[in-house]
Amino acid sequence: MAVWPNYSTVSRRQKTLQVAIGTMPTTTGLQLLVDSTGIKMLGEGEWKTKKHGANHRRQWRKVHLGIDASTLEIRAMGVTDNGIGDAPVLPALLS
């Protein structure tokens, strides 16, 4: 029987979790699509906020993804604060 870690254990371990995306060289070049999405880290749920108001300010992080246009594989990834756009992160994603 497999035992999966609970939410508290996963949350505690995420501080030291290292994610490595392997590279696959290409000889034909790479068309990289870059976009970002927001992830809410802290804050109440939408229903509670509408019903009772927010007790705390929500905190967001942005995940910037570089996706290979031909294979749709994630080739690069970066996480920043919510105030950072795609343009300042682009050199790091390309490298």
* Tokens (6 digits) for 37: 């999405």
The whole-number pLDDT of residue 59 equals: 73
The whole-number pLDDT of residue 28 equals: 79
The whole-number pLDDT of residue 76 equals: 86
User: What would the pLDDT profile of 21-60 be if each residue is shown by its tens digit?
Assistant: 676 677 778 888 888 888 776 666 666 767 776 666 667 7
Distances in whole angstroms, Cα of residue 83 to Cα of each of 14, 33, 58, 64, 78: 22, 20, 13, 12, 14
Helix (H) or strand (E) holding 48: helix 46-52
Helix (H) or strand (E) holding 87: helix 86-94
User: pTM for this structure?
Assistant: 0.58
User: Who wins on pLDDT, 58 or 81?
Assistant: 81
Distances in whole angstroms, Cα of residue 40 to Cα of each of 19, 44, 45, 55, 59: 19, 10, 10, 15, 6
User: Who wins on pLDDT, 7 or 29?
Assistant: 29
